[in-house]
Structure 1
Amino acid sequence: MNPLHKFGKQAIFSYLVIWFVGSLWMMAVLGSGSYQQKVMGVDFALYHEYASFGFAGALGGALYGLRMFHEHYQELTTQWIYWYLMRPVLCFGSAIITIILFESGIMLLQVADSMSARISIAFLTGYGYGKFMEKLRDLTTTFFNGKNTNGTNGNGGGGSGGDTPK
C-alpha cells in the first residue's frame, strides 16, 4: 500500500504548516529579544540574528513547499517525501550561509545594510532554494576551476579540474 494514500499527504501538509508557523513564531521570539538562554551550548544572545535568518529561510522553503504541495497534490508520489521533509531544513542552513557570503563580500548585492533587508534575502534564498544552489555551484566553479593569468586552471596543476583524481 502506498504510504501517501492513508495519512501521508496530511502528514506532509501538517509538517510544512508547522515549519511555516513555527518559523514565523521563532522569528518573533528572537526579534523581541526576550529569549536569552543557551540551547545545547549555543548562546542565542550572540547568534539570534543568524537564527532569525535561518528561520526566514525555512519560512520561504516551507511556503514554497506548501505551494508545490497545493499545485501537485494529485501527482504526489513517495519519491517526493524526502524533498518535502528536507526543504525547510536545507533552506534554514542555506539562508544563513547566504547572509554570511553577502557579509563577507564574496557575493555582491546592492541592498541596505539593515536587518529587514537581510531577512528578506534569507527568505528569498529559502523560497528560491533551487536557484540559490545553481548560483552557489557557479560561484564554486568560478573560485576553484577558473582560469588564472598563467594559463593554468587555478588548482596548481596544468590540466585537470580540482575534483578529478589523478
Structure 2
Amino acid sequence: MDPLHRFGKQFIFIYLLIWFVGSLWMMALLGSGSVQGKLLGVDVNLYHEYVSFGFAGALGGALYGLRMFHEHYHDLTTQWVYWYLMRPILCFGSAIITIVLFESGILLLQVGDSMAARISVAFLTGYGYGKFMEKIRALTNTFFNGNANANGSSSGSGNNGGDQPKP
C-alpha cells in the first residue's frame, strides 16, 4: 500500500490541525503578555505583535489547508503533500510582510490602526495566500518595471524591464 494513503493523509490532517490550534494558542499566549525576555537572542517584547501577525497568517493558511484537504481528500497525491506542509509556514511570513507593507504605506487599505484590524488583515493574507502572491507580483512589476524612476526619467526600453544597462 502507498505510504501516502496509509499514513500521509492522517499526518497532513494532524499537522494542519496542530498549526491551527497552535496558532490560536500562541496568539493568546502572546496577547496575554506572559511571554517575556529574550528567545533565541531576540527581545520578545519588541516583536510580539509581529509574531502575533505571523500566527494569524498561519491560522488562515492552516484553515484554508484544512478546507482544501477536506474538499480534495480523495484526490490527494504526493505532489500536494509539500503544498500542505509549506502553506502555514509561508502564510506566517507573508502575514508579517503584509503588515509591514501596510505600515510603510506601500500597500494602501483603509484599515483601523487597532491590533484587531491588523490581525484580521494578517489572517486574510494567510487564508488568501495565492491572491496575496499575485498582488505582490503586480506590486513588484509596478515598482521595478514601471515607466519612470525616482528622478522621472525612463527606466528602460523594450522588454528588458530595466535590467540591462543603457548604452
Measured against the shorter chain, the TM-score band is: over 0.9
Which residue of structure 2 aligns with residue 120 of structure 1? 120
1:66, 1:164 → 2: CA distance? 44
Alpha-carbon offset, residue 100 of structure 1: 0.1
Percent identity between the aligned chains? 79
Which residue of structure 1 aligns with residue 7 of structure 2? 7
Q: Deviations over 1:38-68 (max 9, x none)?
A: 1111111110000000000000000000000
2:134, 2:164 → 1: CA distance? 21
Which residue of structure 2 aligns with residue 22 of structure 1? 22
Which residue of structure 1 aligns with residue 43 of structure 2? 43
5 Å-filtered alignment, 1:62-81, equals: 62-81=62-81
5 Å-filtered alignment, 1:17-166, equals: 17-148=17-148, 150=153, 152=154, 154=155, 157-159=156-158, 160-162=160-162
Alpha-carbon offset, residue 163 of structure 1: 5.1
2:83, 2:2 → 1: CA distance? 17
Q: Secondary structure at the match of 1:16?
A: helix
Q: Is the CA contact (8 Å cut-off) linking 1:36 and 1:44 kept in structure 2?
A: yes
Alpha-carbon offset, residue 21 of structure 1: 0.3
Alpha-carbon offset, residue 158 of structure 1: 3.4
Structure 1: 4+ residue segments shifted above 6 A = none
2:48, 2:41 → 1: CA distance? 14
Task: Give aligned pairs, total.
Answer: 162
TM, length-normalised to structure 1: 0.93
Q: Mark the runs of 5 or more structure 1 residues left unpaired by the alignment.
A: none
Q: Secondary structure at the match of 1:74?
A: helix
1:41, 1:132 → 2: CA distance? 31
Q: Mark the runs of 5 or more structure 2 residues left unpaired by the alignment.
A: none
Q: Is the CA contact (8 Å cut-off) linking 1:2 and 1:78 kept in structure 2?
A: no
Q: Which amino acid aligns with 2:157?
A: G
TM, length-normalised to structure 2: 0.92
